[in-house]
Amino acid sequence: MKREDIHKRVRNAYGQVATRQGGCGCGNPVALASLREGEVVLDQGSGAGFDSFLAAERVGPTGRVIGIDMTAEMLDKARENAKKSGRANVEFRLGEIEHLPVADSSVDVILSNCVINLSTDKPQVFREAFRVLRPGGRLMVSDIVLMAPLPAPLAESALLYSSCVAGALIKEEYLGSIAGAGFTEIAVQGETVFPLDLIVSEPELAGLLAKDERASIEKSIVSVRVGARKPAGCGCGGAC
């Protein structure tokens, strides 16, 4: 699949998710972020705003949450939900996680819930996260990674890409991309096998992979929760 085709498919898929319950979900980074009163939080791929609203409760009226999503349908839903809840400390912006519509060194914490695996340029996602974090700022992500390469039918599947699997990196490569962006104190804070049958329906899976092939990848798809920090002495916009 070409990068532009993947990007279009993901955007279309999540525009449709906005009209119903569903989509990827591999953890709740808010539960790990140790958010504090008054902090500025960025929620990557904020969707309908669920994690953004949880974060807003924790940072309180003196804090602020910025949700970023690339689909207009999701933004409409998130803004509607914010209006209904009466939250004044949350805003939602249209943008891509590879090119955040956020100023340099302007946020304290970045949260991301099963979104980075959908990007076709994950190192750029982490470089952007590093850019917008203040020195000493924290990155807290939940995501899908792989312990071993996927068989070709799965790795090349457009369906499995928008289902958060085919675009996932090998775990070591994922952590290396975080380090390559300049982050330190990188730590895996939780790890859980993510069964294929929770991601794709049995009929769809049967069309991609024979039953006797499943055993080899049964433990290859993993949900991880990772924390990292931008060095406190780093006042630049890029990697130090």
pLDDT, tens only, 116-168: 998 999 999 999 999 999 999 999 999 999 999 988 888 888 777 777 888 89
pLDDT, tens only, 164-207: 888 899 999 999 999 999 999 999 999 998 877 777 766 777 67
The residue assigned the tokens 């807290």 is 140
Beta bridge partners of 43: 67, 111
DSSP for residue 159: H
Cite the DSSP H helix spans in the chain: 3-17, 50-59, 72-85, 122-132, 152-155, 158-162, 171-180, 202-206
Q: d(Cα 171, Cα 162) in Å, to the nearest integer?
A: 19
**Is residue 146 within 8 Å of 168, Cβ to Cβ?**
yes
- Architecture of the domain whose range is 3-143+170-195+223-229: 3-Layer(aba) Sandwich (3.40)
C-alpha closest to that of 47 among 92, 104, 108, 7: 92
Q: What was the pLDDT predicted at 103?
A: 98
Q: Taking 90 as the threshold, does the pLDDT of residue 8 lie above it?
A: no
pLDDT, tens only, 10-48: 545 444 444 434 456 777 777 777 899 999 999 999 999
Q: What was the pLDDT predicted at 133?
A: 98
Please, which residues have CB within 8 angstroms of residue 203's CB and are 6 or more apart in sequence? Answer: none
pLDDT, tens only, 71-122: 999 999 999 999 998 889 999 999 999 999 999 999 999 999 989 998 999 9
Q: What was the pLDDT predicted at 105?
A: 97
Q: Taking 80 as the threshold, does the pLDDT of residue 66 lie above it?
A: yes
